[in-house]
Structure 1
């Protein structure tokens, strides 16, 4: 069996492929002398045992395929065998041995040249649980905890120990998943970008009490009866849907990651955004990162770099990243997938309309739409060059839904800047106010918050008439719901955390019910 430090690193028994991790050890001492006895019970790392005379044959068919056979001397027949198949890149791939050495290369992938190599360093436990991240579960009172480790489900029992702060702690089991090179769609992820992702564990913490502070830690129960623990973290449970309490939401897109030593500058503002959010961690309750996370571009290790960068945030508040619909107190969020068809009649259009239509605006007055690519309005320069201010086929179908169901605000990323648009419908501003909106809901305010950290995007020279505020800088948006009648939006720069643009919305439930153009139930007069 493939083994390292007394641990089996590959559960396969007859064929080994891909990354070289662990060495297969074989005893072939049955050449002819008196035979030796085995222990009664085979160890977990023993695959095949035979107390008889025999020999081994290795057959290398080519550079990629090796056959091992154990034959008995009595008849020459094969009684045990295995094969190894791999390419040269599998030999080069990094695997864990408890000791690591780091190399500095110049010249990029096309002409790599070794500059320096570090001394070997060791980790107390290279398989230890890392990168905890929280997210909403399937219901408002459920939190998922996901983390990464080097432990397969056959080696440990993963779980989360959690409970009210200062109260009784319980344990919830975790599921374990992973993926392999063949799961990837092509280069570079299958070649130079591949790295063993380890194992991804997820546990569901259920029946949480609204707004209660909980503590948790990640646990692994090993086969020898010992435990591996993470440090202890904490989070605040979500409010009950419609609950009238202070609720604060962060939203942005396109952050990326960057090394602390400045070794990469493709997403130069990402550390400013990360550090500012960590500094402000006590002033918000949930994060919506609407697309373009690490810009891994086929290099799996960059996902680890990103999750490590945001860990202080994602381990403390829900960090929401995918398409879905979810409730958070007085908010109802509908997050669309701008990479798939959203036109009328499509499955996604039906999904969007269903979730916009089913919200109870009396309990959740603040209806928010979001997508990665601007499906509404952006005065980014390349949109203008294409004769549009949106993604192709963007708002023609969706704007009728926004108006019909009176969506308050639409948020987008993809364009790496900040821009706020007036309440608008069919290319027309329906409210000329700029800082405070009250009364009837007519038109949706669209906001681009794509300045999370990646290289900045230019605007058109002249702003369109619907553009209220534009800023080519790094920043993020913050929504604060004070109650069912008053909402504050703020745009903050990542460099200093100060507010550079803001507006408020105040209204009552009757304002949501009021009839506006294309926003009322259609009726037919009697004849």
Structure 2
């Protein structure tokens, strides 16, 4: 139940809020800018404008049930908000203000409301006219993901059309070639699927309908175009704009293959407005740098803490809109983190409130992953010469568990002659980090992390392990049992010695401090926003680069040169048993 107090109204007939234009998306756009003009005869410095969707909202106050509920403390959480004095220097005297705000198509109409009393004791002063998109239900925000086979691409998108209203499908084909129609399955979820507040209460907003289509039997490296469609009962079709992608290479194929990896990016507002969980200042820089370099990127892996909605569900729309130029063009593979899954009493390995009551449902529905069980969120995916084993740190990974068996199977089942580059990924740092809170614990890792898994990494010769969760960048030497097996370098050659561990959790969220002392396995640390990029040139040459989000330049890098015989060679704790027989 929501604890509702009386609605504090201070509506003033002399006050007003006016928004224009009233209709957006006249040329099919899924976003648009609105000019909001307002007047309050009795202004104060803590007046603010809230953006609400649907346009009819509750201005009643709902007291927070837990620490994951934040101000403004309204029973209907605004999509976002901005203080009336923002870029309106004379507002406190004149009461007149003007804001330019960006809206995205979120299946419903919008209104803008002026409040006094600040965020903790909001009093409604005036509400604007309604603003809507031409077709609020239009198909939007396509996100590609690799399917369960190498020659399959999945397309997932959001719309306002229930399957009873319209039939979803994708029209697609090779560029300039024959067109195909592929059906799409449809999922959604309701408030009862949420595990707690705010997701189940003030932060609830219907997610729309999530459609996924499977484009099969693709030709390796071929260019395809596609568009999203819905067939209405009268036979007319509603279309998205056209998009394109390049099909994945055959596993083991020798060609240039480039993958961007990061965690903890989140989202931010291009118009400078505020939102719940507004602590991802590097998010837009990272997004824009990736968009700028997109022609040199084949796939993206976002390893958990995806958008930090934390129970304010409208933000999943905001995130998918932000990454649309990326995710509509290259596979956008996601992992799950604490801010997607964790909630007390729901089976998550950690019993905290970090998901804001979402308990994994939006993440596993809004994004497709080629997992056997999308709720468990661990899976393998191949891209050419790469094998990626993506773990789920919010479920138990220790020996004897279902996930441990998956990890060992993923690492052991790859043919290293064809796919020499074996990569392990997880949200929390199961390897090594000199982040301050791990240092305070004295673990320099997620407790029980490497103790459970380091023998697998060493046995199966995992080249690199990537993590998020810690909001900075750090690279180790090739390390095993907390010892550098070889000294850190910018170039490694010859037989595998040990796994290099890389924290790339600085894609957007507020930065995490390092401990002040230097640890011998920690080679390069950066307290800044950034992301990683892997480039496989061929079966013998791999490049890793760390780029800052502020400028896209490379600040750390290393290469690996290794032939197949070097993969077969034995090092510490990974020599196979042999026979004396000849």
Residue in 2 that maps onto 1:355: 410
Unaligned runs of 5+ in 1: 1-20, 22-87
Alpha-carbon deviation of 1:209? Answer: 0.4
Alpha-carbon deviation of 1:520? Answer: 1.4
Secondary structure of 1:209 counterpart: coil
* Distance (Å, rounded) in 2 between the aligned partners of 1:170 and 1:229: 15
* Distance (Å, rounded) in 1 between the aligned partners of 2:569 and 2:436: 37
Q: Bigger CA drift: 176-185 or 514-523?
A: 514-523
- What are the superposed Cα offsets for residues 474-520 of structure 1, whole Å, 9 maximum, x if unpaired? 00000000000000000000000000000000010000000111111
**Are residue 298 (structure 1) and residue 311 (structure 2) matched?**
yes
Match of 1:457 among 498, 503, 512: 512
Residue in 1 that maps onto 2:358: none
- What are the superposed Cα offsets for residues 376-421 of structure 1, whole Å, 9 maximum, x if unpaired? 1000011111111000101012100000000000000000000000
Residue in 2 that maps onto 1:32: none
Match of 2:161 among 139, 151, 157: 151
* Distance (Å, rounded) in 1 between the aligned partners of 2:205 and 2:120: 19
- What are the superposed Cα offsets for residues 394-453 of structure 1, whole Å, 9 maximum, x if unpaired? 101210000000000000000000000000111110111410000010110000000010
Residue in 2 that maps onto 1:468: 523
Change (3 A) 1:92 1:331: closer
Contact 2:259 2:299 (C-alpha < 8 Å) held by counterparts: yes
What is the TM-score when the length of structure 2 is the normalising length?
0.73
Residue in 2 that maps onto 1:34: none
**Structure 2 matches for 1:131-146, cutoff 5 A?**
131-146=141-156
Secondary structure of 1:458 counterpart: coil
Residue in 1 that maps onto 2:272: 262
**Are residue 272 (structure 1) and residue 285 (structure 2) matched?**
yes
Contact 1:380 1:460 (C-alpha < 8 Å) held by counterparts: yes
* Distance (Å, rounded) in 2 between the aligned partners of 1:106 and 1:490: 49
**Are residue 391 (structure 1) and residue 485 (structure 2) matched?**
no
* Distance (Å, rounded) in 2 between the aligned partners of 1:305 and 1:364: 36
Change (3 A) 1:90 1:253: closer
* Distance (Å, rounded) in 2 between the aligned partners of 1:373 and 1:91: 30
Change (3 A) 1:329 1:106: farther
**Are residue 370 (structure 1) and residue 425 (structure 2) matched?**
yes
Alpha-carbon deviation of 1:463? Answer: 2.0
Change (3 A) 1:106 1:403: farther
Contact 2:77 2:202 (C-alpha < 8 Å) held by counterparts: no
Match of 2:558 among 486, 503, 507: 503
Residue in 2 that maps onto 1:130: 140
Residue in 2 that maps onto 1:45: none
- What are the superposed Cα offsets for residues 149-178 of structure 1, whole Å, 9 maximum, x if unpaired? 110001111000000011111100001111
Contact 1:407 1:444 (C-alpha < 8 Å) held by counterparts: yes
Match of 2:252 among 227, 238, 242: 242
Return structure 1 stretches of 4+ with deviation > 6 angstroms: 88-93, 95-98
* Distance (Å, rounded) in 2 between the aligned partners of 1:160 and 1:290: 28
What's the RMSD between the two structures over aligned residues?
A: 2.4
Residue in 2 that maps onto 1:230: 240
Secondary structure of 2:157 counterpart: strand
Structure number with bigger Rg: 1
**Are residue 320 (structure 1) and residue 354 (structure 2) matched?**
no
**Are residue 286 (structure 1) and residue 299 (structure 2) matched?**
yes
Change (3 A) 1:334 1:228: same
* Distance (Å, rounded) in 1 between the aligned partners of 2:518 and 2:188: 47
Alpha-carbon deviation of 1:525? Answer: 6.8
Residue in 1 that maps onto 2:321: 308
Residue in 2 that maps onto 1:418: 473
Alpha-carbon deviation of 1:214? Answer: 0.3
Contact 1:254 1:450 (C-alpha < 8 Å) held by counterparts: yes
**Structure 2 matches for 1:422-437, cutoff 5 A?**
422-437=477-492
* Distance (Å, rounded) in 2 between the aligned partners of 1:383 and 1:463: 14
Contact 1:253 1:293 (C-alpha < 8 Å) held by counterparts: yes
Alpha-carbon deviation of 1:118? Answer: 3.4
Secondary structure of 1:275 counterpart: helix
- What are the superposed Cα offsets for residues 251-287 of structure 1, whole Å, 9 maximum, x if unpaired? 0000011111222351110000011111111110000
Alpha-carbon deviation of 1:340? Answer: 1.4
Contact 1:98 1:125 (C-alpha < 8 Å) held by counterparts: no
Change (3 A) 1:253 1:490: same
Q: Bigger CA drift: 231-240 or 101-110?
A: 101-110
* Distance (Å, rounded) in 2 between the aligned partners of 1:183 and 1:108: 32
Contact 1:417 1:448 (C-alpha < 8 Å) held by counterparts: yes
Unaligned runs of 5+ in 2: 1-53, 55-73, 80-104, 336-377
Contact 1:193 1:299 (C-alpha < 8 Å) held by counterparts: yes
Contact 2:488 2:523 (C-alpha < 8 Å) held by counterparts: no
**Are residue 114 (structure 1) and residue 169 (structure 2) matched?**
no
Alpha-carbon deviation of 1:356? Answer: 0.5
Residue in 2 that maps onto 1:213: 223
Q: Bigger CA drift: 240-249 or 516-525?
A: 516-525
